Amino acid sequence: MTVFKRGAITVLTVKGVPIRLHFSVLLLIPVLTYALAVQMPRVAAAAKIPTESLGLPGWAWGLLASIGLIVSITLHELAHTLVAMKYGGKVDSIVLMALGGVSQITQMPKRPTQELVMAAVGPALSVVLGVVLGLGWKAFAASPNLAFYFFMLGYLNLVLGVFNFIPAFPMDGGRVLRAALATRMGKYRATNVAAVIGKALAVAFAVFGVFGGGIWMILIAFFVWSGATQEKLYSDLQHALGHVRVGEVQSFVPQVESDSSLEEARLVLREAGADSAIVEEHGQTVGLVRKLDILSHPPDERMKLRVSACMIAAQPLTSSEELGDSFDRVLREGELPVVDPDGNATGLIRSQDIIDTLRSRGFHFPGDRKQPPSQPRP
């Protein structure tokens, strides 16, 4: 079954982790196909295969290489995901986008050495795939078409692996560097050092791009600088939240059963003066239902439709877990139900609750206006 979520369609599920294809990939494929088709003669020359011996036109080779690269990126991200899960991490999904794949890991492995292995395994797999495909190129030298495809896809995997080993965020190499540093100085300080190194590399890429490296080096410089900035901000947010527990900042909201009518849920929300309610099913917290979603249905439909048809499925947070480990998931989802360690619903946590908590602890967001110093009374 395919499921759409935030512009992406679920095409496969592995070990309970959905693999989603973002619509931007549809824009990437023709661009990548064209770029690879243009490079086909050069690739054929490097593979020592005459272009006239190839049985497909350039655009077809470009399309096949694009599809092969997307599959390779999926395997790359799956390697991250499976290792993260092996070490106790939690993974929401894998999303394949125009800029590459993203494993949405909602809970990272605790030990720096575990994070190091998790970060390194993706590019390592890409390099191994590149080597294996390179051996295939040699083994099938008598079959020009197969040898050419192995060579082209092997080369792309080697580039993918080596590029991701660059020791700068948002590449995997930046996380490898941070994890290695964290074994000596702690994760927060290690992130700061890795971010500085990443920005220094970004400046070097930009200078090289201006003096002959071309526009691609400048774009990579921007990509690396942005990645370092974002990772530093994330680390600062996590550090500012300290050891705050989810239960300390939750809001208390009503609960409704999944088989209740939407009208019953509306009345419960009105009586409580709430905008959202936790949805329970057979004693389990299964999601949320929002007043706006209920009101989007005509009054006569509300009597017939069940809450389960309108609710938003959501995996709850536990009130005892540290907010620093889960705040990004709350910010991404907007709001999530909270349960106690026994699984009983206790409330709801919203992104605004986190923002208010951060500001109360002295954290300033980009764009926040500084309060002018108070003037002494005459």
**Catalytic machinery residues:** 77
Residue type, 55: G
Contacts for 215 with CB less than 8 Å, ≥ 6 apart: 209
Contacts for 255 with CB less than 8 Å, ≥ 6 apart: 277, 278, 279, 280, 345
**Distance of CA 148 to CAs 49, 70, 128, 143, Å?**
7, 18, 18, 8
- Interatomic CA distance for residues 266 and 307, integer angstroms: 10
- Interatomic CA distance for residues 225 and 197, integer angstroms: 10
- Interatomic CA distance for residues 111 and 75, integer angstroms: 24
CA torsion through residues 176, 178, 181, 186, sign: negative
Radius of gyration of the chain (CA): 25
- Interatomic CA distance for residues 304 and 279, integer angstroms: 17
76 is in an annotated binding site: yes
- Interatomic CA distance for residues 136 and 150, integer angstroms: 6
297 is in an annotated binding site: no
Q: How many helices (DSSP H) and strands (DSSP E) are in the chain?
A: 13, 12
236 is in an annotated binding site: no
Cβ-count burial 118-147 (b if 16+ within 10 Å, e if not): bbbbbbbbbbebbeebbebbeebeeebeeb
Strand 255-257 vs strand 335-339: parallel, antiparallel, or unpaired? unpaired
What's 151-195 look like in SS3?
Answer: HHHHHHHHHHHHHHCCCCCCCHHHHHHHHHHHHHHCHHHHHHHHH
Cβ atoms within 10 Å, residue 171: 24
Strand partners, 282: none
With CA atoms as reference, report the closest residue to 208 among 196, 193, 195, 219.
Answer: 219
State the binding site: 76, 80, 172
State the binding site for Zn(2+): 76, 80, 172
